[in-house]
Amino acid sequence: MVLSRYICLFFTYSLMGWIYETLFCTIKSGKWENRGFLYGPACPIYGTGAVAISTIMKAAGGYGITLSPWQIFLIAVIGSAGLEYITSWGLEKLFHAAWWDYSGLPLNLHGRISLFTSLGFGLAGLLVVYAIAPFTENAVGHIVPIAIELLSFCFVFVFAVDLTLTVTALYHFDKMVIHMENSFNQSMESIVDSTVERSTRVRDSIVEKGRFVNDQVNNMNGLMKSTIRRINIFRDRDEHRKTVKNGYLTRLRNLAINRKKSGESEG
């Protein structure tokens, strides 16, 4: 029962985080932005942070310790920075991709965290402790135990399916890029072997590869396109592969923009 309750709280906070991220980025960019690592309306990093700081508050209260607002703020700043950095590092190691990048902000660390965003999460921590958590936990507490069990089971099931689809899409995308890289290398080897018609063949090869990339982008299924479009930037160790991946990302975004403009012109 206790575990099921925490699962429900985790997904509730994750939904709230997704709503905030999506609204903020949609207003900022002027177009719809489905934020987060997963397809569904959930940002697990927000759920983890909110549950963590609520648990810390309860643990401190159990020992008779009352944390002041500045202490809660400091815990939220340090905790969010650590959580963001570890999550970003882990996703990069697994998928060579970054879903957020703070490189353009001052006082950032490897683009994974920045002072200003961490301070913002510090304020969010105060909001969670004094406003969001009491209301959310009270609402969840009024749900009957059997419903809590069913909800937690449904949340975990949907999360598992969503995670599987996301990882599968990224895996197939990586395989596609490796295939293209091998094809590109083979073409370049054949070009280098021949010097007589080199300039003509280089030009034709570049045109052919451009068409190949466009075909690959157009042939991506909807799930793969949605997954890749949510990535901010690729950070592959292989520079050529990183360039290819970011090229796909740029083409996908341009394709979405062109379709939007086409729809507006038709309207």
| Segment 83-134, tens digit of pLDDT | 999 999 999 888 888 889 999 999 999 999 999 999 999 999 999 999 999 9
What CA–CA distance (Å, rounded) separates 217 from 134?
A: 46
pLDDT score, position 161 = 92
Q: What percent of the chain has pLDDT over 70?
A: 77
Query: Are the beta carbons of 234 and 242 closer than 8 angstroms?
Result: yes
106: left (phi over 0), alpha (psi -120 to 50) or beta: beta
pTM of the predicted protein model: 0.79
Give me the mean pLDDT over the 261-267 stretch: 55
**What DSSP element (H or E) covers 174?**
helix 145-193
First-to-last C-alpha distance (Å) of the chain: 53
Query: Are the beta carbons of 19 and 33 closer than 8 angstroms?
Result: no
Between 156 and 209, name the one with better pLDDT. 156
pLDDT score, position 196 = 46
pLDDT (tens digit per residue) in 220-263: 666 777 777 788 888 777 776 777 777 777 777 776 656 555 55
3-class state of residue 113 by DSSP: strand
pLDDT (tens digit per residue) in 33-88: 878 788 888 999 999 999 999 999 999 998 999 999 999 999 999 999 999 999 99
What CA–CA distance (Å, rounded) separates 155 from 213?
A: 37
